[in-house]
């Protein structure tokens, strides 16, 4: 039971801190992607399916806070799936440096997935929030690099306590 409490509370904290900008926690108005860090942390010791499901669920929660259409779910699902696959194939160690590097790369992947969805919405929909494709991809460059840098720097702050908790839970089972 305590495991579920820790999971729910940690997700809620990530959701609450997501729009918050403390001093030193943003670059060009972009902050760390706390939900991406959580999905990577969760997916390291889970199957690719569980990682993808966690990404979809957290993506829909983030979309509920920020966007009138689903935009984060696909990127976070891809991130969860890739993280679990990397760990299963032994390409990913469970140390802070490896996790920070994976978070850096997957932050770019998730932002690219979102930019691709915005591009499709611009091309095929009539209610695009952007005036041109160039605006979408210029914004993507700024956001993806800023998010990748900050998320990878802050990843150990979330990864280490959750990893320790889940190790403790596994030993107790």
CA distances from 114 to 14, 63, 160 (A): 19, 11, 28
Rounded to a whole number of angstroms, the distance between the first and last alpha carbons of the chain is 12
Total of domains in the chain: 1
Q: 0.85 exceeded by the pTM?
A: yes
Q: Is residue 161 part of a domain?
A: yes
Say if CB 17 and CB 26 are below 8 A apart.
no
Q: Is residue 171 part of a domain?
A: no
CA distances from 30 to 2, 67, 81, 110, 141 (A): 33, 16, 25, 14, 12
Q: Is residue 134 part of a domain?
A: yes
Beta-carbon contacts of residue 113 (< 8 Å; ≥ 6 apart)? 74, 75, 78
CB atoms within 10 A of CB 56: 18
Mind giving me the DSSP string for 63-124?
HHHH-SS--SHHHHHHHHHHHHHHHHTT-S-SSHHHHHHHHHHHHHHHHHHHHHHHHHHHHH
CA 70 to CA 101: how far, in whole Å? 27
pLDDT for 95: 80
Q: Is the pLDDT of residue 93 over 80?
A: no
Q: Is the pLDDT of residue 173 over 70?
A: no
Q: Is the dihedral angle over the CA atoms 83, 86, 88, 92 positive or is it negative? A: negative
Tens of pLDDT, residues 38-91:
999 999 988 999 999 999 999 999 988 887 777 899 999 999 999 999 887 877
Look up the CATH number of the domain holding residue 70.
1.10.1760
Residue with tokens 């990577």: 40
For residues 23-41, give the mean pLDDT.
89
For residues 111-136, give the mean pLDDT.
83
Token pair, residue 71, equals: 């935009």
| Beta-bridge mates of residue 30 | 27
Q: Is the pLDDT of residue 5 over 70?
A: yes
Say if CB 106 and CB 36 are below 8 A apart.
yes
Domain containing 103 equals 2-20+29-166
């Amino acid at each position: 039971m305590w495991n579920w409490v820790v999971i729910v509370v940690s997700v809620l904290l990530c959701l609450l801190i997501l729009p918050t900008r403390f001093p030193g926690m943003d670059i060009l108005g972009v902050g760390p992607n706390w939900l991406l860090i959580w999905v990577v942390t969760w997916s390291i010791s889970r199957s690719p399916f569980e990682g993808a499901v966690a990404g979809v669920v957290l993506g829909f929660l983030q979309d509920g806070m920020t966007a009138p259409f689903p935009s984060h779910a696909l990127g976070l699902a891809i991130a969860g799936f890739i993280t679990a696959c990397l760990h299963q194939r032994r390409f990913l160690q469970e140390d802070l440096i490896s996790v920070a590097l994976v978070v850096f790369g997957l932050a770019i992947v998730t932002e690219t997935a979102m930019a691709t969805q915005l591009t499709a919405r611009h091309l095929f929909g009539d209610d695009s929030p952007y005036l041109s494709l160039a605006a979408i991809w210029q914004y993507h460059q700024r956001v993806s690099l800023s998010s990748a840098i900050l998320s990878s720097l802050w990843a150990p702050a979330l990864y280490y306590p959750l990893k320790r908790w889940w190790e403790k839970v596994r030993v107790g089972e």
